[in-house]
Amino acid sequence: MGSTVRLFLDHDLHQGQLVALSRDHAHYLFGVMRLGVGATVEIFNGRDGAWSATVVEAGKKKGALRCDVSTRPQQNPPDVWLMFAPIKKARTDFIVEKATEMGASRILPVQTDFTNSERIRQDRLQAHAIEAAEQCGGTYVPPVEDLQKLTSVLDGWPKDRHMMFCDEVAVGQGLDLPKAGEKWAILIGPEGGFSPKERDRLLSMDLAQAVSLGPRILRADTAVVAALTVWQQQNGDWA
Ligand code: SAH
């Protein structure tokens, strides 16, 4: 990535486009990173790929960039959602950061029977996803949804979306993911695992498949990274 500063902003991007900076971005570029007029940064908006841009105005609380040349095309991840039960704050932050780096298309925190946390800060988690995309050279930022009940998500489950249901109870059943379908979701449970009721319901879903991640019980944050690795290797955009 070199040392080029990368910024995600919600602004249309095309050649010659002037982009006004928010106060936070101006503070970051000119106060923290000490850039000035003429400096080059890379910007992306999640739709128009990445662009090299030049600082044309640098103030304490505002500033502007000019979009010069496209540096990489828009690259969206495969259509795989990550569903997970929020755990302690630092580990939840880690999950969102790693899921973004690993190429999840959408992040859904779900409240399960044994979920330890009742609340999340959706805005903070979304900011973590943005930071991770800036840092990893991506052009896509997965939307992070607000906390929903797992039962409600399953009630409205799309008819065409497969689910890789990661369950330590599936150990010994091997790892055999069908290469079926384009649309997927990965489900990781909380520290206490899934309740028998949840497990019964998930196992009864035609589109859900229980998958083992090996003979050791992984922490939820480790399981997220392992599951996305396995899925990407089999179905994803790593080829
Ligand atoms: N119920 C367990 C801990 C759950 S670990 C206990 O208390 O003993 C948290 C989540 O990580 C699980 O719900 C599951 O989704 C995933 N996970 C951890 N280890 C796993 C494994 N070996 N195989 C599949 N999923 C695993």
33-81 pLDDT, tens per residue? 999 999 999 999 999 999 999 999 999 999 999 999 999 999 999 999 9
Supply the range of the domain harboring residue 62: 6-72
Same domain for 66 and 132, yes or no, is no
Per-residue pLDDT band at 116 (split at 50, 70, 90) = confident
Instruction: Give percent of the chain with pLDDT exceeding 90.
Output: 85
Regarding the beta carbon of 120 and ligand 1, being less than 6 Å apart is answered no
Q: Is residue 222 part of a domain?
A: yes
- For residue 78, report the phi and psi dihedrals to the nearest 5 degrees: -65, 165
Q: Is residue 1 part of a domain?
A: no
Residue nearest to atom 9 of ligand 1 (CA): 220
Same domain for 102 and 49, yes or no, is no
**Last residue in a domain, options 52, 72, 92:** 72
Alpha-carbon span 104 to 141, nearest angstrom: 9
Same domain for 90 and 183, yes or no, is yes
CA of 59 to the centre of ligand 1 (A): 50
pLDDT tens for 176-233 read 676 667 899 999 999 999 999 999 999 999 999 999 999 999 999 999 999 999 999 8
Q: Which residues is 149 bridged to in the sheet?
A: 111
The pTM (predicted TM-score) of the whole model is 0.94
Same domain for 128 and 23, yes or no, is no
Alpha-carbon span 196 to 193, nearest angstrom: 9
Q: Is residue 29 part of a domain?
A: yes
Name the residue of 113, 218, 229 to mutate for ligand 1: max ligand atoms within 8 A of Cβ.
Answer: 218
Same domain for 128 and 198, yes or no, is yes
Neighbours of 9 (CB within 10 A): 17
Give the position of tokens 């979701």: 185
- Structural domains of the chain, count: 2
> Per residue in 29-63, is it b (16+ CB within 10 Å) or e — as a string?
bbeeeebeeebebbbbbbebbbbbbebeebeeeeb
Residue nearest to atom 2 of ligand 1 (CA): 193
Regarding the beta carbon of 5 and ligand 1, being less than 6 Å apart is answered no
CA of 207 to the centre of ligand 1 (A): 20
**Last residue in a domain, options 56, 72, 88:** 72
CA of 193 to the centre of ligand 1 (A): 6
Q: Going by C-beta distance under 8 Å and a sequence separation of 6 or more, which residues neighbour residue 185?
A: 80, 81, 82, 83, 108, 161, 162, 163, 164
**Virtual CA dihedral for 67, 73, 74, 80, nearest 10 degrees?**
-150
CA of 216 to the centre of ligand 1 (A): 9
Contact 60, 25 (CB under 8 A): no
Same domain for 85 and 53, yes or no, is no
Residue type, 37: V
Same domain for 67 and 104, yes or no, is no
Task: For residue 57, give the CATH number of its domain.
Answer: 2.40.240.20
